[in-house]
Amino acid sequence: MASLAAKGISKVFEDGFQALTDIDLVVEPGEFVTLLGPSGCGKTTLLKTLAGFYDATTGRIEIGGTDVTAAPPEKRDTAMCFQSYALFPHLTVAENIDFGPRQAGVPKAERRARLESLLRQVDLEAHRDKLPNRLSGGQQQRVALARALAMRPAVVLFDEPLSNLDAKLREQVRREIRALQKEIGFTAIYVTHDQSEALAMSDRVVVMQGGRIDQVGRPEEIYARPETAFVADFIGAANLVPFEDLGGGRVKTPLGELRAAVPPAGNASFICWRPEDVELVEAGAASENVIRGVVRDRAYQGAHTELHVATGDADLGLQRLHVAGAAPAEGAEVAFRLGADQIRFVRSALA
């Protein structure tokens, strides 16, 4: 296990396109960090730069405290695990896993010990002599993982490894990856565009947008205290409403005057609240932070019903509410209360 530090990384491709700008990130030994963001935000470029497949245009990369900025991929003590598995089709499961150590000249006894323990750890002992095309997608993914781990890398870099798997299998394999990571002990950097995967797997999540890091934090922090409108909207669902600061935690918004538990930060431009943060109240209720509207449509989701509510200010669009239990019908007039401590303030874009 080793730490990884990226300091001031930028990447400009040969065609002049700047894919990464000012990336600063420190990953602790044994930490599981995901890079999360929409398609094209630079996740894969950052991963490949950390792995050494791309040269950083500026900045410095350290692994285990050693400067590896100019080192080729095989000298970085990292391994990559891809979505396409990249298994050798003509080699058996065991030969695929043993390939790296064999090439590297690891002594035979040591190779055999590694192979046996990896086959057991990824639960493929019964399939050791099969060719990859005889395996299911989940099993192939486990071979790819074992092959990456066979070189005992300090840092494993995962590029959307589960995107070829169906939803149920993804969940299973992601639990297996986490369990293996704890058992074997390696530092993991994991690219995904799937919010729930990032929240479920990570010690910390790095949210990227437009080649920059928007926010880094534990999953609970990212969800409960998004710093930007982009993070709020990309992770979970958010209602975003512009405001004017009236002082003392009071704000004027198109939804009416509201009181927040904390005053807005100086650079905030929206209030943000989650669909589940509201409580439906009696239509006549006249208390603080009560907002009125009309249900435009509703979608039953099992654990809750999602309502889209028009609140009078057409420019604002519809607000999303999640209601557990019996939900009002389309066309119903509703009143809901927003808790003062549920109102967050977010900035509109990158600092």
Closer residue to ligand ATP, CB minimum distance, 13 or 88: 13
Residue 51 one-letter amino acid: A
Hey, what are 169's tokens? 């299998």
Cβ 86 to ligand ATP shortest distance, Å: 16
Q: Taking CB under 6 A as the criterion, which residues in 94-113 touch ligand ATP? A: none
**Which residue among 6, 9, 19, 295 contacts ligand ATP (CB under 6 A)?**
19
Distance CA 192, CA 161 (A): 8
Closer residue to ligand ATP, CB minimum distance, 114 or 193: 193
Cβ 335 to ligand ATP shortest distance, Å: 41
Binding range to ligand ATP, per CB under 6 A, among 13-21, 105-113, 223-231, 342-350: 13-21
Q: How far is CA 304 from CA 161, 240, 299, 327, 346, in A?
A: 31, 21, 9, 9, 26
CA 181 to chain centroid, in Å, comes to 17
Binding range to ligand ATP, per CB under 6 A, among 15-23, 247-255, 317-325, 332-340: 15-23
Cβ 17 to ligand ATP shortest distance, Å: 4
Q: Taking CB under 6 A as the criterion, which residues in 222-251 touch ligand ATP? A: none
Question: What is the contact mask toward ligand ATP in residues 191 to 210, using x (rule: CB under 6 A)?
Answer: --x-----------------
| Residue 15 in contact with ligand ATP, rule: CB under 6 A | yes
Distance CA 323, CA 301 (A): 10
Closer residue to ligand ATP, CB minimum distance, 112 or 212: 212
Distance CA 209, CA 231 (A): 9
Q: How many residues bind ligand ATP (CB under 6 A)?
A: 13
According to DSSP, residue 320 is labeled E
For residues 94 and 119, is the Cβ–Cβ distance under 8 A?
yes
Cβ 118 to ligand ATP shortest distance, Å: 28
Nearest Cα to 210, choosing from 344, 82, 351?
351
Q: Taking CB under 6 A as the criterion, which residues in 33-92 touch ligand ATP? A: 37, 39-45
Closer residue to ligand ATP, CB minimum distance, 47 or 295: 47
CA 276 to chain centroid, in Å, comes to 21
With a CB cutoff of 8 Å and minimum separation 6, the contacts of 293 are: 309, 310, 311, 312, 319, 333, 334, 335, 336
Give the dihedral of Cα atoms 49, 55, 61, 64; nearest 10 deg: 80
Distance CA 243, CA 222 (A): 22
Distance CA 27, CA 35 (A): 12
Cβ 174 to ligand ATP shortest distance, Å: 17
Distance CA 307, CA 323 (A): 8
Q: What are phi and psi of 123, to 5 degrees?
A: 60, 45
Cβ 39 to ligand ATP shortest distance, Å: 3
Cβ 231 to ligand ATP shortest distance, Å: 15
**Which residue among 8, 17, 312, 349 contacts ligand ATP (CB under 6 A)?**
17
Binding range to ligand ATP, per CB under 6 A, among 2-10, 32-40, 239-247, 254-262: 32-40
Positions touching ligand ATP (CB under 6 A) are 13, 15, 17, 19, 37, 39-45, 193
